[in-house]
Structure 1
Amino acid sequence: MLKLTVAEAAKITGTQDVSKPDTAITALCSLEEAHEGGLCYLTSLEKADLLKDLKASALIVPESAKGQDIPFNGALLYAKNPEWAFILLMKYADAQKQKHTSGIHPTAVISGSAKLGANVSVGAYTVIEDGAQIGDNTVIFPQCYIGKNVSVGKNCYIYPQVVIREECVLKDYVILQAGAKIGSDGFGFTFHDGRHQKIPQIGNVVLGNDVEVQSNTCIDRAKISSTVIGDNTKIDNLVQIGHNVHVGMSSIMCAQVGVAGTTEIGNGVILAGQVGLAGHMSIGDRAQVGAQSGVMTSIPAGQTYFGYPAMPQREAFKLQAILRKLPEMHKEFRTFKKQLEETKNLSFFGKLKKLLGL
């Protein structure tokens, strides 16, 4: 439970103007689930008519609402961006929760040659191999595996059952959600002497600062050199990233995206759910790909693609519109074909009359 006053909430969010600063806040809640002691936010005044029955104790509204008659009896906070102000309060509330047990659990197995920074926590049954380095304030939850010579930066969170294989690098503020696998062998084989022969995958994976990888996502190590995920990129659950892929900064990959090997993905790219990328191609900066699209060729910067195979969104939507009309078009075609067949044995003028309906 939160224990804040409206004045304290204003300080956390940088909000300058408030009313009823001594009002107590005990929870953050949505407009739909507002209750006594709760704080909500409103991004525009279009829903202001809903406020007269709002049971919350406090509300964040846009600065543009100053001086207007708002039908709400609780405390008001005026913010440039109400949603971001609310998120800052969520960050504050989340930071108050103790998600892990501090210190090194006695069942953790840590190599004598591993180096742990200040204030590192390691959970039960976690294994940290020879030569691994863990930065200050990093938290490793139970049942994780940190391979030989892995480097983990400062202030990272590694949740339960994460595997980080040998030689991989995590920079600072990386979050790996439960079950993420970093550095498994890339899917590399060559057909020789009648068999698929394994190609050793001797590279690694490098995750930049502030990268988040969510549950059960797999990022394969490079054949040689590195598979690289750039700073601030966020990767959803159940994503597969192949060997030698390079992803730029601040890109987003939604659930079940699959990226084949040696693909270059730029900065600020958005790949929606279940997008598949063939290998050896490039996706330009700020490109967007719609859900369930199959990308077979490179995409220029700033373009939005959709469909299977993926094409510029405008073309894809035109094609979809035509496809929806196919049953009707097919019916008309069969009618026209039948009319033509009925005129085969008629004279020229008979055929003309038949087609004209005379």
Structure 2
Amino acid sequence: MKLQELADLLGGTLHGDGSLEFARPLPPVEAGSADLAVAMQPELLGDLGRSPARVGLLANGTEPPEGTLDAWVCVGRPRYALHRLTGALGQEPFVAPGIHPTAVVEPGAEVSPDASLGAFVYVGPRARIGRGARILNHVSIGQDAVIGEDTLLHPGVRVGERVRIGARVIIHSNAALGADGFSFVTPEPGSVEHARSSGSGKVSSFNEHIARIHSLGSVVVGDDVEIGANTCIDKGTLTDTCIGSGTKIDDLVMIGHNVRIGMLCMICGQVGIAGSTVIGNGVVLAGGVGVADHAKIGDHAVVGARSGVMGEIPEKEVWMGYPARPRKETMEIFVYQSKLKALFREVSDFRKAFASFLEDGRGK
């Protein structure tokens, strides 16, 4: 790609000779003489002095050290520029057109003529595969499931019965949609119910038998959703578990039965969301957040990493900590915790001084 083409692609400002070409974008310390040195963070500018690259990509308001680059492009929003750059240069996964000879398509299933099914794909009865969908090897799609137009399922994805997936969805390897929800009950009040209601700190009621509550609902995924590898989304009990359009879900996320997640949310790795939780639009759950069952998180709220959400979070607020509280309260707690050692030392010194004072008083 020529540097002028890069500037046009990113809407950036060209400095120097636009006819210079590069082979691939790399960090400055890894870029060779034929590569584009990507130094959009100010702390990377110093690395240009140790790089043989002659062309670079920088942020607006920055310049390369003198004598390092022959030409460069400056952009206003580096992360969005990276989105455009990687989108233009990225390679799509390969799947041959048509249906691979080893794929199994059950009678009654509908596969669009221009959809692609890779090796050892299974499509259950009455399932529907939309136009332009790409189903890579070893994917299984259950009966009555629906896969929308231009959706991409990476190897090993499991789509359960009656799951409905929208258009332009990307699901990464070994994700499982449509397992039964973790929903069980005991014939008489068991240990969990007793622990919740008694408040005594001890369990006096025990589980004699545990019976499954079956999942009659399924999973519904909107358009333009991305779901990471090894993520699991359970079916609903009576209604569907729902993922709103535009939402992005990381690897290793667990979403329980009946959960409803709004549009344009970002759910980061190792998040666990228990059953019947309702999450609004534009919510961000950072890595490792745990959300208790029946919790509610308002639109555009942000929850910090490793936080534990127990109840309700209002819209547009930032919460963090365990249990999660408004960010200001949690930061105050962190500050006070850091002072506990000094406080205990002062209290100990005071007690010693007071004891000495009392002894002196009795002596007199």
User: Shorter-chain-normalised TM-score: which range?
Assistant: 0.7 to 0.9
TM-score between the two structures when normalised by the length of structure 1? 0.87
Aligned counterpart in structure 1 of residue 152 of structure 2, from 148, 154, 157: 157
Aligned counterpart in structure 2 of residue 58 of structure 1, from 55, 63, 73: 55
Amino acid in the other structure paired with 1:238:
L
Query: Which residue does 1:356 correspond to in 2?
Result: none
Distance in 1, matches of 2:313 and 2:286, equals 15
Query: Which residue does 2:244 correspond to in 1?
Result: 230
Contact 2:29 2:48 in 1 (8 A): no
Q: In structure 2, the residue corresponding to 1:89 is in which secondary structure?
A: helix
Aligned counterpart in structure 2 of residue 124 of structure 1, from 119, 144, 163: 119
Aligned counterpart in structure 2 of residue 7 of structure 1, from 4, 7, 19: 4
Which structure 1 segments of 5+ residues have no match? 351-358
Query: Which residue does 2:142 correspond to in 1?
Result: 147
Query: Which residue does 1:169 correspond to in 2?
Result: 164
Contact 2:217 2:237 in 1 (8 A): yes
1:239 is aligned to 2:249: no
- When structure 1 is superposed on structure 2, of 151-160 and 12-21 the one drifting more is 12-21
Cα drift, residue 296 of structure 1: 1.0
Query: Which residue does 2:335 correspond to in 1?
Result: 321
Distance in 1, matches of 2:354 and 2:74, equals 73
The aligned runs of 1:287-298 (5 Å cut-off) are 287-298=301-312
1:248 is aligned to 2:244: no
Aligned counterpart in structure 2 of residue 215 of structure 1, from 229, 236, 247: 229
Query: Which residue does 2:84 correspond to in 1?
Result: 88
Cα drift, residue 172 of structure 1: 0.8
Query: Which residue does 2:27 correspond to in 1?
Result: 30
Aligned counterpart in structure 2 of residue 112 of structure 1, from 107, 113, 127: 107
Query: Which residue does 2:129 correspond to in 1?
Result: 134
Q: Percent identity?
A: 33
Distance in 1, matches of 2:59 and 2:356, equals 72
Cα drift, residue 277 of structure 1: 0.7
Cα drift, residue 103 of structure 1: 2.8
Cα drift, residue 174 of structure 1: 0.8
1:309 is aligned to 2:323: yes
Go from structure 1 to structure 2 and tell me whether the alpha carbon gap of 1:328 and 1:163 turns closer, same or farther (over 3 Å shift): same
Aligned counterpart in structure 1 of residue 297 of structure 2, from 283, 286, 293: 283
Distance in 2, matches of 1:283 and 1:235, equals 16
Aligned counterpart in structure 2 of residue 200 of structure 1, from 203, 214, 217: 214
Go from structure 1 to structure 2 and tell me whether the alpha carbon gap of 1:230 and 1:70 turns closer, same or farther (over 3 Å shift): farther
Cα drift, residue 216 of structure 1: 0.9
Amino acid in the other structure paired with 2:336:
I
Cα drift, residue 65 of structure 1: 6.4
Q: In structure 2, the residue corresponding to 1:24 is in which secondary structure?
A: coil
TM-score between the two structures when normalised by the length of structure 2? 0.86
Deviations 1:37-66 (A, max 9, x none): 212344377865654554223223345569
Distance in 2, matches of 1:256 and 1:80, equals 32
Cα drift, residue 189 of structure 1: 1.2
Contact 1:252 1:270 in 2 (8 A): yes
Aligned counterpart in structure 2 of residue 257 of structure 1, from 271, 294, 297: 271
Go from structure 1 to structure 2 and tell me whether the alpha carbon gap of 1:293 and 1:98 turns closer, same or farther (over 3 Å shift): closer
Aligned counterpart in structure 2 of residue 99 of structure 1, from 86, 89, 94: 94
Q: In structure 2, the residue corresponding to 1:9 is in which secondary structure?
A: helix
Q: In structure 2, the residue corresponding to 1:59 is in which secondary structure?
A: strand
Deviations 1:205-245 (A, max 9, x none): 11111111111111111001211111111111111111111
Distance in 1, matches of 2:10 and 2:260, equals 36
Cα drift, residue 298 of structure 1: 0.5
- When structure 1 is superposed on structure 2, of 112-121 and 4-13 the one drifting more is 4-13
Distance in 1, matches of 2:299 and 2:226, equals 20
1:40 is aligned to 2:37: yes
Go from structure 1 to structure 2 and tell me whether the alpha carbon gap of 1:332 and 1:52 turns closer, same or farther (over 3 Å shift): closer
Distance in 1, matches of 2:360 and 2:3, equals 90
Aligned length: 345
Aligned counterpart in structure 2 of residue 273 of structure 1, from 282, 287, 301: 287
Go from structure 1 to structure 2 and tell me whether the alpha carbon gap of 1:228 and 1:17 turns closer, same or farther (over 3 Å shift): same
Q: In structure 1, the residue corresponding to 2:339 is in which secondary structure?
A: helix
Query: Which residue does 2:73 correspond to in 1?
Result: 77
